[in-house]
Amino acid sequence: MSDSRASTLNSKLRYVGQLALFAVAMFGFGYLLVPLYDKFCEVTGIGGRTAEGPVAEAEYLPTEPDMSREVTVHFDANVNSSLPWHFEPVEKTMAVHPGKMYETAYIATNYSDQPVVAQAVPSVAPGLASLHFNKTECFCFTEQLLGPGESREMPVRFFVHPDLDDGTNFVTLSYIVYKNDDATARETVAMGQ
Amino acid sequence: MTDATAAQHDAHEHHPKGLARWLFTTNHKEIGTLYLIFSLVMFLVGGAMALVIRAELFAPGLHLVNPEFFNQMTTMHALVMIFGAVMPAFVGLANWMVPLMIGAPDMALPRMNNWSFWIMPFAFTLLLATLFMPSGAPASGWTLYPPLSLQGGNSLAFVILAIHLMGISSIMGAINIIATILNMRAPGMTLLRMPMFVWTWLITAFLLIAVMPVLAGAVTMLLTDRFFGTSFFNAAGGGDPVLYQHIFWFFGHPEVYIMILPAFGIVSEIIPTFSRKKLFGYTSMVYATASIAFLSFIVWAHHMFTVGMPLGAALFFMYATMVIAVPTGIKIFNWVSTMWRGSMTFETPMLFALGFVVLFTIGGLSGVMLAIVPADFQYHDTYFVVAHFHYVLVTGAVFAIMASVYYWLPKWTGHMYNETLGKIHFWWSTFWVNVLFFPQHYLGLAGMPRRIPDYAIQFTEFNVISSIGGFAFGIGQLLFVYIVWQCARGGQKATANVWEGARGLEWTVPSPAPLHTFDNPPNVDDPDLVAHTGGTR
């Protein structure tokens, strides 16, 4: 009898150990979803993220632009509420031929009386089009410092790759500018000295 | 409830008295009772919050509460009802009934059982205390989507700690239930002879262990984003708020099945009893439950269609969601077939079970409508969604819990409840719950958004009807409290079998069930028991 009690206890403890391990593993899985999601978005373009650095023009730009096709690119600008900036595109829309390089610009104005550093985060809609929307130059790659009342025109050079899905005739490039608190504090100290 | 007649059985035990008895108890029946009482209290607290919402929505314009408090009410109502009322009620039922149904003397881990209950009052003290903090309770909806949830006050930290505690409690409870079911069944009780309630809880427990830790991870990320400078969900720091929605709903969809699978089990116990027939299609019920549990892991993004996703993904999640209607349909077919040509009687548990079958099916059908991607673009975040999930949770989960309380109350207390009052409670609740939630379908289709304290005047009439239904339904639940209280105090003595057609090991022990049962495991193949258990299924 005591033998069977002991074996029942052992088998209970085995279940508890395995199930507790499973629970801990699932907690880890929750965190594993973060890099998995990043990788998934990068590969499939879901989420509308664009390449983090400038793409090498020579490598990606096809020699022959597709002049028979026209894609409308919309430019969108948003400012995070904590940032005292005006921010808007020079052109609202642009008709482009896939495979041809274009340049446009956004204008940012710091209307506060302090120097402010901000950083722009781009995204492209529809998400799958982001794989074929390439920026060779963009202000989003670096921190932007504007002095009090300063205004600046910030260029974007881009091309739409001819591999863009045939059904996609509209692409939106959107930026949100966020205040970079650390860099702003650094600049404020540097100016003070 | 159980101590009076169990006295002669337990004369040899030194049982602490008063508060200490409940604080230190390791008995599955006493812990089950504690869970059920806790759940009833939370049901009334969450119900009061719902009435604040319905009172504000009685007329267009802002009248009673300010919008911030309204948002806190929608958020807290959901958190209290989900984690405080429905889930603990099912855990309480599992504690009470699973050992009795499988012929085990207690749960596998009685001490852990005590801990998993006593964590709950602490968790809800933390959660409800946020109502009295300067920044107020969380007001971003129970889903706590960033960036909104990160823009509130510091009370978020209390909410997250409360969710961690509830999660730990649920996981410990689930481990206990699995260890009990897999380890402590009476001889002859093979897996495919277990009652359906035990089966549904076994599967639910696995769901809990799989997804509660994922929720814990998600809210921990919120905590570090808000207070420790990480950027999991902060776009400015390279994070993505949509990631939170994916992680949350990876938890959230299995969670809705955690709240309905035990209800399926309860209804599968009650309908055969009052139809005086065996459950039709027992094996298909088991496999249907397992299929629903599996599918729940691959449909989460149907909560996020309007966030935007590629066509292929939208189609996948739409079809996967619709497939769930197949195993659910099998279950409804089996319940109806169990009743077919049965000698049916309509005592209160059966009425609630029948109410469940009809009204849950309505909620299931609006769920299929919501699965259709283009339709969902119209329905998303409207009152149509509110109507849908209240049909499956109130007339689904809550009705099943009420049915189970009426069904097993004589076994718990040794007394019959007042059948007339029980029937009045059923018809009152069923009438008013439809007055409460059915108009919300129309409001949603007409475009009234959820979680907004004010609305355009063309929505007035349906909101008035809905609010009247809400108050009448809410008042009716006080009758339920009275019936349970009256039954616990006395009444007509219940027999061991209680119901003429009842089958299962729990009906072989006296009513009220003594504190200790099945100290010697019953042999399910014993000829005396076969009549009781219905033999092999």
Is pLDDT above 70 for B251? Answer: yes
Q: How far apart are CA B415 and CA B509, in angstroms?
A: 14
Mean pLDDT of the region A86-106: 92
Long-range contacts of A10-14 (CB under 8 A, 24+ apart): A11/B183, A12/B108, A12/B109, A12/B179, A12/B183
Q: How far apart are CA B249 and CA B305, in angstroms?
A: 12
Is pLDDT above 60 for B357? Answer: yes
Task: Indicate the pLDDT class of residue A141, thresholds 50, 70 and 90.
Answer: confident
Which of B163, B168, B169, B209 has the highest number of chain A CBs within 10 A, making it the mutation to test binding with A?
Answer: B209
Q: How far apart are CA B242 and CA B244, in angstroms?
A: 5
Residue type, B513: A
B155 in active site: no
> What's the confidence (pLDDT) of residue A59?
64
| Strands A93-96 and A71-79, sheet pairing | antiparallel
Contact yes or no for B243 and A34 at CB 8 A: yes
B335 in active site: no
Of B146 and B16, which is predicted with more confidence? B146
Question: Closest Cα partner for B31 from B137, B176, B160, B138?
Answer: B176
Burial label for A7, CB within 10 Å (0-12, 13-18, 19+), is exposed
> B50 and B117 in contact (C-beta within 8 Å)?
no
DSSP secondary structure letters along B80-146: IIIIIIIHHHHHHHHHHHHHHHHT-SS-S-HHHHHHHHHHHHHHHHHHHHGGGSTT-S--STTTT-T
> B75 and B139 in contact (C-beta within 8 Å)?
yes
> What's the confidence (pLDDT) of residue B2?
43
- Tens of pLDDT, residue by residue over B475-519, are 999 999 999 999 999 989 999 999 998 988 999 999 999 999 999
- Minimum mean pLDDT among A56-60, B17-21, B146-150: which range? A56-60
Of B237 and B417, which is predicted with more confidence? B417
The distance of A44 to chain B (nearest Cα, Å) reads 9
B169 in active site: yes
Contact yes or no for A47 and B236 at CB 8 A: no
DSSP A54: P
Residue B168 contacts A, CB cutoff 8 Å? no
Mean pLDDT for chain B overall: 93
- Tens of pLDDT, residue by residue over B158-208, are 999 999 999 999 999 999 999 999 999 998 889 998 999 999 999 999 999
Residue A53 contacts B, CB cutoff 8 Å? no
Which of B109, B172, B184, B214 has the highest number of chain A CBs within 10 A, making it the mutation to test binding with A?
Answer: B214
Measure CB to CB from residue B236 to each of A19, A80, A126 and give the nearest one. A80
Question: Closest Cα partner for A138 from A93, A100, A104, A91?
Answer: A104
Q: How far apart are CA A120 and CA A106, in angstroms?
A: 11
Measure CB to CB from residue A19 to each of B209, B236, B250 and give the nearest one. B209
Q: Which two tokens stand for residue B251?
A: 């938890």
Q: Which helix (H) or strand (E) holds B367?
A: helix B348-371
Task: Indicate the pLDDT class of residue A58, thresholds 50, 70 and 90.
Answer: low
Mean pLDDT of the region A169-184: 88
Is pLDDT above 50 for B6? Answer: no
Mean pLDDT of the region B210-231: 95
B185 in active site: no
Contact yes or no for B216 and A125 at CB 8 A: no
> What's the confidence (pLDDT) of residue B4?
43
> What's the confidence (pLDDT) of residue B448?
96
Query: Residues 67 to 86 of A: which have CB under 8 A from any B CB?
Result: 80
> B105 and B517 in contact (C-beta within 8 Å)?
yes
B347 in active site: no
B257 in active site: yes
B425 in active site: no
Contacts of B217 in chain A (CB under 8 A): 27-31
ipTM of the complex: 0.87
| Strands A170-179 and A71-79, sheet pairing | parallel
Q: How far apart are CA B476 and CA B43, in angstroms?
A: 13
- Minimum mean pLDDT among A60-74, B286-300, B406-420, B465-479: which range? A60-74
Percent of chain B with pLDDT over 90: 86
> What's the confidence (pLDDT) of residue B317?
96
Residue B211 contacts A, CB cutoff 8 Å? yes
Contact yes or no for B310 and A176 at CB 8 A: no
